[in-house]
């Protein structure tokens, strides 16, 4: 469950892409968020 409690296959269907693409995009989005949060909290 990721977006609005949707399963990967539901997200893929709504976006018109493959489950692999959904998983990849979410992986990189999480990494980007993690790095951004790390930068913010290191400077506090």
Q: Domain limits of the chain?
A: 8-42
pLDDT at 3: 58
What is the end-to-end Cα distance of the chain in Å, rounded?
32
The pLDDT of residue 16 is: 98
**What tens digit of pLDDT does each residue of 1-44 get?**
555 789 999 999 999 999 999 999 999 999 999 999 998 888 66
Q: What is the DSSP letter of 16?
A: T
CB 11: neighbour CB atoms within 10 A? Answer: 20
């Amino acid at each position: 469950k990721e977006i609005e409690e949707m399963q990967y296959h539901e997200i893929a269907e709504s976006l018109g892409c493959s489950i692999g693409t959904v998983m990849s995009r979410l992986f990189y989005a999480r990494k980007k968020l993690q790095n951004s949060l790390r930068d913010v909290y290191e400077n506090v």
